[in-house]
Amino acid sequence: MAQADPTAEAERHETEPERDDRNLIEILQEARVVQTGVQILFGFLLAATFEPKFSTLSSFQKAVYLGTLVSAAATLIMLTAPIAWHRILFRQGDKEHLVQVANRFMLVGLTTMGLTSIGVVMLLSDIAFSPWLTALVTTVAVLACAVLWYLLPLTRRRKLGGSSTLPDPHGLDPVLPDRFDADRKAVS
């Protein structure tokens, strides 16, 4: 596997505003991709309450439903927040801050999306299958989200030299410290 080139970002020949523009476009595009799936799940959850079988759900199933509904709503709120901020701050010259905030909203939104996905898997499998199978598929969903969305990217991030291939002078990454010494160790 090829190593990341630490000069790749610098070789783009971008000005700071151009980099902010590109970063914001990437974040908004990622939000659009994720929003569709969450909107479908949210619609399913809203419609489920009108099904005759909904009143026969156990208290556990209703609790999972409520938690999943709240997670889906939180996901939609987090993933659309960068769009609202962009519209309100349009042409205010604050794009660097907007990129920082949008990145944080996206990270929270992805976390709540994982909770939503896990909740839907748990609820539907608990309705349709035995408890042991529900536990199994829910565990697989939890592990898949944890490993694919967090563990592997964070492991790769660490392998690339701690937290990132480059220092993050703009504070775009919520995990990185603001400054590094020459050996890439965080400076307090």
Residues 31/106, Cβ–Cβ less than 8 Å: yes
Residue 36 burial (C-beta neighbours within 10 Å; 0-12, 13-18, 19+): exposed
pLDDT of residue 36: 85
38: Cβ–Cβ under 8 A, 6 or more apart, which residues? 72, 75, 76, 79, 113, 116
Tell me the three state secondary structure of residue 187.
Answer: strand
Six-digit token string for 140: 């697989």
pTM: 0.73
Tens digits of pLDDT across the chain (188 residues):
445 554 555 566 778 878 877 887 887 788 778 888 888 888 889 898 999 889 999 999 999 999 999 999 999 999 989 888 888 887 777 778 888 888 899 899 999 999 999 999 999 999 999 999 999 999 999 999 999 998 999 899 888 886 544 445 555 555 444 444 444 454 44
Which amino acid appears at position 170 of this protein? Answer: H
pLDDT of residue 176: 44
pLDDT of residue 164: 44
Six-digit token string for 60: 């556990």
> Quick one: which of 109, 113, 117, 111 has its CA closest to 137?
117
